[in-house]
Structure 1
Amino acid sequence: MKPKIFIDGEHGTTGLQIRALLADRGDLEIIS
């Protein structure tokens, strides 16, 4: 089971940067 990462404020600049950094990580699940 993959750890789930919730990005609060994903549509802002910081949220977009965090999402871009984690996008290639196959060991995490990003939820929004």
Structure 2
Amino acid sequence: MYNVSTQLLHYNLRFRVCRYVCSDCRLRAY
């Protein structure tokens, strides 16, 4: 259970970082 929750947390964090980077790239591109 702990491992699953940790994996989910890492996935969520990675997703947020990816979205932040993508949005930052878009702002720089335009």
TM-score (norm 2): 0.41
Query: Which structure: greater helix fraction?
Result: 2
Q: Which of these two proteins has the greater Rg computed from alpha carbons?
A: 2
Query: Which structure: greater strand fraction?
Result: 1
